[in-house]
């Protein structure tokens, strides 16, 4: 392994710090986007409507037969 000067090591460390900082900023943005439920509903609108319709049919199917028995 070739010996590096102190200046080369500092330069490499500074480049690594800058790259790490950019990665952290990008990761924070991605986490904020993934945990934003309003954004997820807009992004997956079709799936949300299908799920809501299915839940409505299932709940309606459970409630209506109980009312008829009385």
Three-class HEC string of 38-61: HHHHHHCHHHHHHHHHHHHHHHHH
Query: Do 68 and 62 touch, CB atoms closer than 8 A?
Result: no
Pair 30, 51 in one domain: no
Which residues span the domain enclosing 22? 1-35
pLDDT computed for residue 30 by the predictor: 94
Pair 3, 31 in one domain: yes
**Hunting for tokens 């900082």 — which residue is that?**
21
Pair 27, 48 in one domain: no
pLDDT digits (tens, 9 = 90+) for 41-59: 999 999 999 999 999 999 8
Pair 4, 27 in one domain: yes
The pTM assigned to this predicted structure is 0.54
**CA atoms of 1 and 25, how far apart (whole Å):** 34
Q: What is the total count of domains within the chain?
A: 2
pLDDT digits (tens, 9 = 90+) for 14-43: 999 999 999 999 999 999 999 999 999 999
Pair 6, 26 in one domain: yes
**CA atoms of 31 and 68, how far apart (whole Å):** 48
Pair 30, 59 in one domain: no
């Amino acid at each position: 392994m070739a010996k590096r000067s102190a200046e080369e090591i500092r330069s490499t460390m500074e480049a690594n710090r800058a790259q790490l900082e950019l990665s952290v900023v990008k990761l924070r943005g991605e986490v904020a986007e993934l945990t934003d439920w309003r954004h997820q509903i807009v992004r997956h609108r079709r799936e949300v409507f299908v799920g809501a319709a299915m839940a409505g049919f299932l709940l309606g199917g459970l409630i209506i037969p109980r009312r008829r028995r009385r």
